[in-house]
Copies of this chain bind each other. A is one copy, B any other.
């Protein structure tokens, strides 16, 4: 049993690995199931034994990757009590994660976007999960009086979009050479923006 399960897991995992490489490299539509099968050293039938359809495979991959990233960021934030510092940690960790895994970045920020209507709902959930992470920090900071009240949802999405675009630029142009180098600029942009917006008590 254990062995079978292990083998099965490894096969399933091999397929997911291959799927990440292939989908991130060529995009959802331009990737043939045969390519994923070949890349995972499986037969097409074997692949279909583990995933009922191309769409389901892509969805599973999306879930797997986004949850792993979310977990990584959440864990990095866990120890820090200060909400603003937590936000900084989240930002740095995301930049690190994407900086280390180009494929992850391509998958989540590029290929998942235009993959088709079927994936919009899931992608929105993923986006919401990350935005929630940020919004949570902001809300807590507001509650603590560290930040003035403001529309934390919009702010969270704006931050999130800002990060993504920096990552996209890095993917496209290779700048900055080390993605993490964007951290201080982004942090200051975010931080003093939020504080500043509060300073004058703008709604």
Q: Which chain A residues have a beta carbon within 8 Å of chain B's beta carbons?
A: 26-30, 110-117, 120, 124, 127, 150-151, 154-155, 157-166, 168-169, 172-173, 176, 182, 184-186, 188-200, 202-203
> Given the complex, which residues of B lie within 8 Å of A172, measured CB to CB?
120, 124, 127
* Known contacts A114-B112, A158-B165, A189 near B185 by CB under 8 Å: no
- In the complex, are the beta carbons of A113 and B110 less than 8 A apart? yes
> Given the complex, which residues of B lie within 8 Å of A163, measured CB to CB?
158, 161
- In the complex, are the beta carbons of B184 and A203 less than 8 A apart? yes
> Given the complex, which residues of B lie within 8 Å of A168, measured CB to CB?
127, 161
List 9 additional A-B contacts (Cβ < 8 Å) besides A28-B29, A157-B165, A184-B203. A27-B115, A27-B117, A29-B30, A127-B172, A154-B185, A157-B166, A191-B196, A192-B192, A196-B196
> Given the complex, which residues of B lie within 8 Å of A111, measured CB to CB?
114
* Known contacts A114-B112, A166-B157, A190 near B193 by CB under 8 Å: yes
